[in-house]
Amino acid sequence: MQISSATKQNTFADDVLRGLSATPKFLSSKYFYDDEGSRLFQQIMNLPEYYLTKAEFEIFSNQTGEIYESFTKQNETFNLIELGAGDGSKTSLLVDYFLKHNARFTYVPIDISAEALHFLTKKFKVQFPKLSIQTEQGDYFQTLKTFQRKNDKRKIVLFLGSNIGNFSQEQACNFFCQLRAAMNETDLLFVGFDLQKDPRTILRAYDDSQGVTAAFNLNLLTRINRELGANFNTQDFSHYAGYHPIEAAARSFLISRKSQTVRIESLEKSFEFAAWEPIFMEISQKYNLAMINELADASGFQVAKNFYDSRNFYTNSLWKII
């Protein structure tokens, strides 16, 4: 997933410099997804502890018909737009059902990564030879606005996988306000939210027993080594995850196991780490219904319907414009 804005984009080097110069230090989770990071995230989605993907998949499998009916009543033509489509495995459940019910729509995946779009198109062309598909590469909001100008059909916008969790609540509000500005009166937004639940269940999802999440976090240091010429020794950092039940936020950190200096050649700078100093890596915000309603309201939307998995771990929330 990419956090993007309509204004000028910071580079990886800018963001690493800013984060490692700050107190406390931080790095952005949007940089987790290089090739190795994307592979590790696939592995996370298959972990027994990582319930999010399974819950959303359950909703899409068991309530496909209800979802379809809530999207369109009169079989009018629409664009099914997906922000940050990934491998499209959940969306393919919808697409399959829609095609079998003669829905008239074009699937429009939007992503920053041309490679991800290429991969997805190839897969969908084989799986769904009859599907009308139009990829749009670029920043979400910019791309949506341009799309809106050249296409007047109704838009149903998907933002799945609890990707919204990587934003603070304030960032999430800004994100939805910008989305709102690129949408019309009858358009719909379908968002995946991870819900509050037993804190132990949440913590296990971000601190798995096989250490895949640890490797996922540490991989960002390896990426900095490779792309910015740094000399992080990943053995000298350890992954630490926590869940704060009042803020309803899971957070992950890399902790410096000793006092050390790391050189980053392309920044022409060295960074000091005190023993046990943390780098804040990622937030995964959890929601309850009041928070979802408030967020919708604050960004110009209204919740039309929530779809839940059988354990009420997760919701796909359908929003209309107010």
What mask of x and - would describe binding to ligand AVJ in positions 264 to 283, judged by CB under 6 A? ------------------x-
Closer to ligand AVJ by Cβ: residue 277 or 282: 282
- DSSP, res 247: T
> Distance between CA atoms of 46 and 57, rounded to whole angstroms?
12
Cβ-based neighbours of 20, under 8 Å, separated by 6 or more = 27, 264, 271, 279
Cα R_g (the chain), whole angstroms: 20
**C-alpha–C-alpha distance, residues 127 and 211, integer Å:** 34
Closer by beta carbon to ligand AVJ, 111 or else 282: 282
Phi, psi torsion values for 18, nearest 5 degrees: -65, -45
Residue from 5, 38, 142, 163 binding ligand AVJ (CB under 6 A): 163
- Residue 89 beta carbon to ligand AVJ: minimum distance, rounded to whole angstroms: 14
**Which residue has tokens 């990587």?**
166
Q: How far is the CB of 146 from ligand AVJ (least distance, A)?
A: 26
Counts for the chain of helices (H) and strands (E), in that order: 11, 14
Q: How far is the CB of 241 from ligand AVJ (least distance, A)?
A: 8
* DSSP code for 12: H
Is there binding between residue 4 and ligand AVJ (CB under 6 A)? Answer: no
- The count of other CB atoms within 10 Å of the CB of residue 131 is 18
* Nearest to ligand AVJ of 52, 81 (CB atom): 52
Choose the stretch contacting ligand AVJ; rule: CB under 6 A; options: 121-129, 159-167, 178-186, 227-235: 159-167
Decide: is 113 part of the binding site for ligand AVJ (CB under 6 A). Answer: no
Residue in 165, 190, 223, 271 binding ligand AVJ, rule: CB under 6 A: 165
Chain residues in the site for ligand AVJ (CB under 6 A): 1, 44, 52, 161-163, 165-166, 206, 213, 216, 282, 284
